[in-house]
Amino acid sequence: MKFSRKLLDPKTTGAALALTAGLSACGHLGTAADTDPWIRGVDVSEARGAEAAGVQFRDMDGQVKPALQIVRDHRYTWVRVRLMIDPQMTDGNYGLLQDLPYVKAVMKDAHGRGLKVLLALHYSHWWADPGNQWLPTRWKGQSDEALAKSVYDYTSDVITQLRAQGTAPDMVQIGNEINGGMLWENGRIRRDDMTAFVKLTNAGANAVRDASGGKAGMPPIMVHIAKIGDAEATVAWYRAFIAAGGWVDTIGLSYYPMWHGDFANLSKTIAALRSTFDWAKVYVAETASYWDQNQVGTEEGLPYPQTPQGQLDYLRALTPVVRDAGGSGIFYWGGFWSQSPKWLTAPGWKDDDASRRSLFDDRAQATPAIDGLN
């Protein structure tokens, strides 16, 4: 059975979408994502902070260039950047440098180089993933209704400020890897009940729409989870989210071969999502592979050697898998995670595994895999 949707009163904050099974997607929002070609993207969240700390990124020929110019020169069309709330509240920065002034500067740089931007709103001071979805300090103790208003007001301010400087995002991700909900404990999914969770995601989506001047000017909304490896469970999650009234224009998935199964599982999942929700484009919003021996001590699930050539071969093989299953693009995660001792302060971390998966080696020189998504 396919799911389709119909837009309700645009001023309704709780459930902006009504969903009907078995009908055509006549109410689907017309957005830029509908006509965009295949997306080749890279997450650049660390790049600006690394450069400010003295990292000099080098192209494959050794030439020093601005980070986002390297992205552009290697034919990427999109970048992704996360936005944190009060990340300075942590003991150490843990790579979470991305407050609003930081992100505004990244987006000016990206748009100035002709790159489109996926803005990933984490709604946390800390890493947001399936095991971490923590309230920022400023919102602690709020009721569900008050928190939904805080999400709306915050998101509206972000979009308003970005539009004011001429850098409106081209796609907006509401939450990050929100398998179990977001903004815990208020927005935690309990006993499969998504009611409180959807109220929060819709508050964010509605704010994006309203601050963008209405649906005609708004960027598409991505809902991103990390549940690859089980196509049935992934489809069931989005069915439940939509049935609860959740707003989703595009689907974002994390796919890391060491955690999320093999290519066959990825292909099956994307195909099942496209078959069920044929109005929604599906993206691999995060992926990465190793150019050097990983620090987590496992080879399990890694389809290619942990070498520069293996990293390149992984990405070259991944693209047709995603395309052929009906996917619409790939974003590489942690692409600029190089020379992290210069810019990352992490008292509680004992390793830096992400640096082994960067698109830049320990000299901050691009690995061959920077061309892997061509």
| Predicted confidence band of residue 89 (pLDDT cuts 50, 70, 90) | confident
Separation of alpha carbons 222 and 2, rounded Å: 19
φ/ψ of 201, rounded to 5, equals: -65, -40
Give pLDDT, residue 229: 74
User: What number is the average pLDDT over the span 309-333?
Assistant: 97
The burial of 44, by beta-carbon neighbours within 10 Å (0-12 exposed, 13-18 middle, 19 or more buried), is given as buried
Specify which residues 365 forms β-bridges with: 58
Residue 349 has a pLDDT of 83
The pTM of this model reads 0.91
Average pLDDT for 184-196? 97
Question: What pLDDT, on the 0 to 100 scale, is given for residue 299?
Answer: 61
Over residues 6-57, the pLDDT tens digits come to: 333 333 333 333 333 332 233 334 344 445 589 999 999 999 999 999 999 9
Q: Which two tokens stand for residue 105?
A: 């500067």
Lowest mean pLDDT among 32-36, 142-146, 309-313: 32-36
CA 357 – CA 310 distance, rounded (Å):
11
Cα distances from 183 to residues 148, 193, 248, in angstroms, run: 10, 15, 18
- Concatenated DSSP letters for 283-330? EEEE----SS--SS---TT--S-SSHHHHHHHHHHHHHHHHHHT--EE
Lowest mean pLDDT among 80-84, 124-128, 227-231, 367-371: 227-231
Report the DSSP beta bridge partners of residue 193: 190
Q: Supply the DSSP string of 180-226, one letter for each residue.
A: TBSSBTTTB-BTTB-HHHHHHHHHHHHHHHHHTTSGGGPPPEEEEE-
